[in-house]
Amino acid sequence: MQLEKSRRILAIFAILLLFFIVFLSVIYVKIILPRKMPTLIISKTDVAVRGSILTKDNYSLARSKKLYKLGFNPRSIDPQKKDFFITLLEIYSGIPKSTIKNALSQPKYTTLSYSISPNVAANLKALNSKLLAYNVFQEYEDENGKPVQKIGLSIEVSGMDREYPYKDLLEPIVGYTKKEQAGELTIPTGANGIEGYREQVLKPTSDGITRGRRDIGFNIIQGKNSIVQKRYDGFDVQLGVPLKLQQKVEDILDDAIREFDSEEVIAGVLNPKNGQIIALATSNRFNPKSIKKQDYPNLKIRAIESYEPGSTIKPLVYALLLEKKLINPLSPIDLNDGYYRVGKYIIRDDVIMPKNPTIEDVLLKSSNVGMVKLSMLLSGQEFYDGLKGFGLAQFTGIDLPYEKNGIIPSVREFSQESSAAKASVSYGYRVRVTFMQLLRAYGAFVNSGYLITPHITQSFIAPDGSVHVPNLQAPKSAISSATARKMEELLIKVVESGTGKAAKVEGLIVGGKTGTARIAASSGGYGETYNGSFFGFAKDSENVYIIGVVTFGSSGQHYYGSQTSAPVFKKIAELLAAQGYLKHARQAQAAK
């Protein structure tokens, strides 16, 4: 009997001991073993920003902003507070309730949006703190029974967005960007225009990094043990183009393209003393934020593409003849009644010349026959070197990508006995120039014969506010100052009494030259469309600006440069006076 009682006691004791061991095991697993806690030391990246492109008067033509992604873990939401969570998140984020509800039904972490704006992101971070304070988020156990700490909203940078507040203004000069993937971020990189050419200046140098202990809202607690590495944004690029002037020039071109049956009209304004471009516009612009298929032809910058210039090249050839002292402008010249044979080709004049023409009249009235005859006075080497001296068949150095350098005949071609190259080039055929080359070359006539480097960029502004000026090539002499003065006088006469009368502006000193050239047909020869142009200067007693206008692809009744481009030149010159860049003679007199 006693033995049986002892056995029962031992059995009870064994059972109690087993339960105690199980109890200790549970305590060990739940309390003693370390729980799966998220790390208390975290790192956060402060993504560096691409620089902005600014006008001369500090308006943003292109700027970057951070985009944020918003996400959360549905299982972290207290089921009793889901409606409260949905209502507040819709208010703060602008995301529809239906989208939020759908995200809450997912079994794991979900991202609601990748394109949250900086302002909305800041508000959501404030909301996150409130939701944590109201215990909307809770701990839960995963499928393995391990506890997961409560985690609030995740609001992190997803990439960069490039904004163009003025849409198509100064396009395609400003250019556009393309999106590239850098790790988990989507960032813009320059593809054309200033965006492309100044990529190394605009792009950010390095992201900032902060590392340290976090609080419950996953904010890093700043302290002596936290590590902060500063971010370095890209430089801003400030252009020398004022917003109001550019807008008005574009308006003038928009009116012109509506008036004439043409493909495109471009215009530019250059300070010939320092090379600063203060306006560069086209009628064919696009919004870089939403480039469409029909915009593709306009992505190229026409101002640096080559074309046959027609008679606007005549002042360059004429200047070479003066420089070599091969002509006297007041001497008479026989123009063969407006017909001249060169090899198998017949050169004709489109204008009625004076009864007893002088060499000066050749330029004033734009005689093709006269220019052909005069060009024969230059040797092949002199012709070639002279055009190169004016910057033709060379890059101008303009701060735009994909600049063409044009084409001129070789010394051998200029020296051929047939003289066909000399003849053709003397009135603007068999030579290809760019708008920018001619704008620069005409600047030599009012800058003592010196060529400057045209540039759109005025300065670079570092993130710390310091200003840096880009390095430019030194001016180089194309012709002597005496020849330049003589050409300036002749070009003024072209406007006063020659083919450029449509460019005349009362109260300003204006000089320049018209040009009209047939466009080569794809099937060979020349078709019935034309490029009409006018290049020249407008000045007062103190300031001078070079203005160039080219109307591409004109047809119908109005295609001469004197009909299409010279009136546009006049309007731009008047605009310069209206905005204070130049003073009318009466304004200057009143100021005294």
- Domains (ranges, CATH) in the chain? 38-69+160-209+229-237 (3.90.1310.10), 243-589 (3.40.710.10)
Q: Are the CB atoms for 177 and 151 separated by under 8 Å?
A: no
DSSP 285: -
pTM, to two decimals: 0.86
Confidence class of residue 188 from pLDDT cuts 50, 70 and 90?
A: very high
* Model pLDDT for residues 74-112, shown as the tens digit of each residue: 988 999 999 999 999 999 999 999 999 999 988 888 999
Query: What proportion of the chain, given as a percentage, has pLDDT over 70?
Result: 89
Looking at residue 33, its pLDDT comes to: 46
Q: How confident is the model at residue 214 (pLDDT cuts 50, 70, 90)?
A: low
CA gap 482, 16 in Å, rounded? 119
CA–CA dist 442, 589 (Å, integer): 28
Distance CA 592, CA 589 (A): 5
Nearest to 579 by CA among 174, 167, 267, 246: 246
Is-contact 381 411, C-beta < 8 A?
A: yes
Backbone angles phi, psi at 319, to 5 degrees: -65, -35
Is the Cβ–Cβ distance between 426 and 468 less than 8 Å? Answer: no
pLDDT of 6 above 90: no
Chain-centre distance of CA 281, in angstroms? 12
The reported pLDDT for the residue numbered 23 is 62
According to the model, what pLDDT value does residue 149 have? Answer: 79
Residue 263 has pLDDT above 90, yes or no: yes
Q: Do β-strands 306-307 and 236-239 pair in parallel, antiparallel, or remain unpaired?
A: unpaired
The span from the CA of 6 to the CA of 14, in Å, is 12
Q: What is the pLDDT of residue 87?
A: 94
- Exposed/middle/buried for residue 239 (C-beta within 10 Å: 0-12, 13-18, 19+): buried
Through-space distance between the first and last CA atoms of the chain, rounded to whole angstroms: 138
Which one of 185-189, 321-325, 347-351 scores highest in mean pLDDT?
321-325
Cβ count within 10 A of residue 473: 12
Residues 6+ away with beta carbon under 8 Å from 523? none
Per-residue pLDDT for 168 more than 60? yes
Helix-strand-coil split of the chain, %, nearest 5: 35, 25, 40
Instruction: Give the length of the chain.
Output: 592
Please, which pLDDT band fits residue 27 given cuts at 50, 70 and 90? low
- Sign of the Cα torsion 90, 96, 97, 103 reads negative
Banded pLDDT at 35 (limits 50, 70, 90): very low
Mean pLDDT of 508-520: 96
Cα distances (angstroms) measured from residue 330 to each of 172, 277, 323, 327, 490:
45, 36, 16, 9, 12
